[in-house]
Amino acid sequence: MTDIPTNEPVLSVRDLHVDFSTRRGALKAIDGISFDIAPGEVLGVVGESGAGKSVTGSAVVGLIEPPGHISGGEIRLAGRRIDNLGAEEMRRVRGKEIGMIFQDPLTSLNPLYRIGDQLTETIRTHLPLSARAARARAIDLLADVGIPAPEQRIDSYPHEFSGGMRQRVVIALALAAEPKLVVADEPTTALDVSVQAQIIALIKKLCAERGTAVMLVTHDMGVIAETADQVAVMYAGRIVEKGPVADIIGRPMHPYARGLMSAIPSLVSDADRLVQIPGSMPRLASLPDGCAFHPRCDRCFDICTTLRPEPEPRGARRVACHLYTHEEMAS
C-alpha cells in the first residue's frame, strides 16, 4: 500500500451534496456533510434507514446511480480529488485504492467462478504479479481472513461456503490490491450474532495491521461500539454529531444520537423498556424547515423550527444542535 503522510487523512469529504432529480425537482439526499478518516482509523456512520449512510458510501466509491448525482463539494483520497474522475478512471481507483465490502456477499462473488479465479483476477488486474504469484497471494489472503485449508478451498465455488465464510472471502477480495480505504456497507447484517463478532474483529484487525482506513456504514450501534474509533451520526442527509466512539456512546449530545444510544439493550440497566424515538425519518420530498429532527425532538424550542443548526465544535466532537447555543446564552 502507498505510504500516506501521517498528517494527511486517507479520505477527506468536504461539503458533499448528493441530489436525485425527479419531475418535481431535485431531492437532496446528502446535504453538505464533511468528515475525514485517518490511516488505520475506523469511522462508523450510523443512523436510521433513509438517513443517507449508504448514499454517502456510494458517493465515496463512485457508484451513485442516475437519477442521483453529486451536486456539490469534493471527495479526496490521500489528497487526490476523485469525485470528478471519469467512469473508467474511477473504476481503476475503486479496484486498486478503494476496497468494498457489501451486506450480501453473493452480490460481490460470481457464482459461476471459483473463489481462487476471482481473487487472482482482482490481484493481477491491479498488481504486477504472475499467475503463480497471484495464486500464492490469494492463498495467503484466504489464510489471513481465517479460511481453513486455504490451499484446498481456493478452488471451491461460492455456494460451497457458509455465509460467514463467504463474507471472509469478500474481505479478502476487498484487501487483495492493498487499498488505502475500505468502505463496508452493513457487512454483518445477514450473519448470525456469533459470526458477526468474528467478522467485526477480522475487519478491525486486518485494517489496523495494514494501516487501511475504514468507512463502516451500519444501523447497528453494537457493531459501532465494537469496531469504530470515530462515529458520525446521520439524520436526513446531514451529520448531526461526530466524535470519538466512547464519547458518543457514553454521553451523546444531540437529541437524536441520545435516542439511538438509549435504544441499545444493556445488561446492567434496570430499565423495564427501551427508549423509542417517536415518529419516523422525514421523506426527502417533505423535509421540515429548521432542524430536520425537530418534529421528533423532546428538547425542541422555537428557533429549531425555523433555523437549521450547523455543526459546532464541542470538545472533541462536532454537534449540529441549537440546544447548546441556547444554554450558553441562557447561562
3-state secondary structure the chain: CCCCCCCCCCEEEEEEEEEEEECCEEEEEEEEEEEEECCCCEEEEECCCCCCHHHHHHHHCCCCCCCEEEEEEEEEECCEECCCCCHHHHHHHHHHCEEEECCCHHHCCCCCCCHHHHHHHHHHHHCCCCHHHHHHHHHHHHHHCCCCCHHHHCCCCHHHCCHHHHHHHHHHHHHCCCCCEEEEECCCCCCCHHHHHHHHHHHHHHHHHHCCEEEEEECCHHHHHHHCCEEEEEECCEEEEEEEHHHHHHCCCCHHHHHHHHCCCCCCCCCCCCCCCCCCCCCHHHCCCCCCCHHHCCCCCHHHHCCCCCCEEECCEEECCHHHHHHHHHC
Whether the pLDDT of residue 2 is over 60: the answer is no
Q: How confident is the model at residue 327 (pLDDT cuts 50, 70, 90)?
A: low
pLDDT digits (tens, 9 = 90+) for 24-68: 888 999 999 999 999 999 999 999 989 999 999 999 999 998 999
Whether the pLDDT of residue 272 is over 80: the answer is no
- Scan for cell 487483495, then name that residue: 176
pLDDT digits (tens, 9 = 90+) for 220-264: 888 888 889 999 999 999 999 999 999 999 999 999 999 888 766
Query: What pLDDT, on the 0 to 100 scale, is given for residue 63?
Result: 93
**What is the rounded average pLDDT of the residues 113-130?**
94
The topology (CATH level 3) of 11-97+177-265+275-330 is Rossmann fold (3.40.50)
- Is 41 within 8 Å of 89 (Cβ atoms)? no
Whether the pLDDT of residue 271 is over 80: the answer is no
Whether the pLDDT of residue 4 is over 60: the answer is no
pLDDT digits (tens, 9 = 90+) for 194-208: 788 888 888 888 888
Q: Which residue has the higher pLDDT, 233 or 108?
A: 233
Q: How confident is the model at residue 266 (pLDDT cuts 50, 70, 90)?
A: low
**Terminal C-alpha separation, the chain:** 51
